[in-house]
């Protein structure tokens, strides 16, 4: 079965950086669209970044564009989210998600992704 295992995250001061990892089994990321989402307390799940099967097409929420970078290592079947210049408003639980049937127009919609990681907490202190 498909399993996404996340690692990384933690507590960092404002202006700092973190990298999240999402390792897949039972799924090949190079044949899927993979996204990162986040959910702050009391809020809905928000799209952060996405990467298409090609690996060369990446997409970002306006709030993180220029600060976050999504990438993929096909040999390790792992997707990463590098987060730079973190701000307190980036505090949330971060999730990776993947699916083979995610179309471009729906890439930012959480309900399009059938498989999800367990989530990892990112806390940015001011």
Polymer length in residues for the chain: 126
Q: Distance between CA atoms of 25 and 104, rounded to whole angstroms? A: 23
Tens of pLDDT, residue by residue over 53-109, are: 988 899 999 999 999 999 999 999 999 999 999 999 999 999 999 999 898 899 999
Per the CB < 8 A criterion, the answer to whether 37 and 112 are in contact is no
Band of residue 120 on the pLDDT scale cut at 50, 70, 90: very high
The pLDDT of residue 65: 98
DSSP secondary-structure letter at 88?
A: G
């Amino acid at each position: 079965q498909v399993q996404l295992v996340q690692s990384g995250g933690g507590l960092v001061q404002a202006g700092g950086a973190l990298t999240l990892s999402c390792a897949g089994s039972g799924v090949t990321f190079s044949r899927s669209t993979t996204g990162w989402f986040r959910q702050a307390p009391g809020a809905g799940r928000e799209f952060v970044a996405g990467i298409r099967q090609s690996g060369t097409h990446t997409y970002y929420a306006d709030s993180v564009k220029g600060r976050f970078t999504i990438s993929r290592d096909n040999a390790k079947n792992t997707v990463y989210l590098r987060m730079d210049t973190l701000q307190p408003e980036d505090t949330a639980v971060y999730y990776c998600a993947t699916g083979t049937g995610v179309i471009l127009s729906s890439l930012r919609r959480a309900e399009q992704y059938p498989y999800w990681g367990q989530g990892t907490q990112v806390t940015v202190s001011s």
